[in-house]
Structure 1
Amino acid sequence: MASQPGIAVGARIRALRTERGLSLSALAAEAGIGKGSLSELETGRRNPTLDTLYALAGPLGVPLASLVDFRDGSVVADEGFRTVLLHTERTEETTSEVWLLQVGAGVTRSSPAHTRGVVEQLVVLAGSCRVTYAEESVDVPTGGHTAWPADVPHRYTATGDTDLRAINVIVTPT
């Protein structure tokens, strides 16, 4: 049985899919997930993973925060990875999301390409990480910062023996 947040996220995915005139089959194919899995998500019978949310956000053309209905405090987690939405700021030009990332030492978190023009920034609070995107790889120590175009596949790897704690800012053009 899905949790209440899972039910709310499923309803939001269904509403966005319907607004865009996409069939269940078309969205599932574009996101690279099973039609049955998408149906279970939409009806609240399955809780979404972070991988699934990222896979759906791109084809729906929305920031990740919109799938959790821009609720501050929303938590999305997978094994070794947890992120909390701290704040969302929306203007006519952009949607900016501020997330607290917690990544276990040695864990890699991969993300598919976001919609066109999305930029991410990372400020490392504790631990260190390697951010890889396109043909680039950047090591970011505690207190360090980096930014990159997130409309290409990218990944974070918590390097060293300490869990990574970082602030991730995602800016999506509207």
Structure 2
Amino acid sequence: MDLAAGVGLRLRELRTARGMSLSELARRSRVGKGTLSELESGRRNPTLETLYALTTALKVPLSTVLHDLEYPATISGDAVEAVLVERFEADTSVTETYRVRIRSGPTQESAAHSSGTTEHIIVLTGTARVGALTEPVLVGPGGHGSWAADVPHLYQAPDKDVEALLIVRHSH
């Protein structure tokens, strides 16, 4: 099963398990109903931004639709490409680890995730501007940063592409 089909199947399962109609999930996520229908049927490749909008509306971590696929899932957006490396579930949280590339030029603005979500980055190469939209910080090679991800936040590579590890911790 390819990425689009696997992700589409999981999205449909999550939506129906919550008793949500296609229209309701489209409204809550601000993703078009036609786009959502194509995603669920596996006819459309998901973008990072779209998957975050949908999983946030479903109140699940992004890795819920990406883990246990036949191969590591690579999801791209306008500015960020992410590969899920690890998902760890504990009684009170889900922790995801991604290998990310932030492309120079565009800025990715992410909507607030569920309450209590935090993000941590370790920059391998380049310099990243990351964190809350109101207080982004610069993190250079070998450096690390943390921010609350339950507020709108951003990722940007002001000079050249950034390679990094991103750890996202969701509390339940």
**Normalising to structure 2: TM-score of the pair?**
0.94
Structure-1 separation of matches of 2:94 and 2:80 = 23
What SS does the corresponding residue of 2:84 show, helix, strand or coil? strand
Match of 1:30 among 24, 28, 31: 28
- Residue 108 of structure 2 is aligned to residue 109 of structure 1: yes
RMSD of equivalent CA atoms: 1.5
Percent identity reads: 40
Moved more, 67-76 or 128-137: 67-76
| CA distance in 2: counterparts of 1:89 and 1:70, whole angstroms | 12
Distance 1:120 1:163 in 2: 20
Distance 2:81 2:151 in 1: 22
Q: Which blocks of at least 5 consecutive residues in structure 1 are unaligned?
A: none
1:40 corresponds, among 29, 38, 41, to 38
Structure 1 residue ranges, 4+ long, deviating more than 4 angstroms after superposition? none
Q: Is the 8 A contact 1:57 1:114 kept in 2?
A: no
Say how many residue pairs are matched.
171
In structure 1, the residue matched to 2:72 is 73
Q: After superposition, where does 1:92-103 map in structure 2 within 5 Å?
A: 92-103=91-102
More displaced 10-residue stretch of structure 1: 67-76 or 4-13: 67-76
**Pair 80,59 (structure 1): closer, same or farther in 2 beyond 3 Å:** closer
TM-score normalized with structure 1 length: 0.93
Q: CA shift at 1:84, angstroms?
A: 0.6
Instruction: Give secondary structure in 1 for the equivalent of 2:113.
Output: coil
Equivalent residues in 2 for 1:1-174 (5 A)? 4-71=2-69, 73-160=72-159, 162-174=160-172
Determine helix, strand or coil for the equivalent of 1:115: coil
Tell me the SS of whatever aligns to 1:136: coil
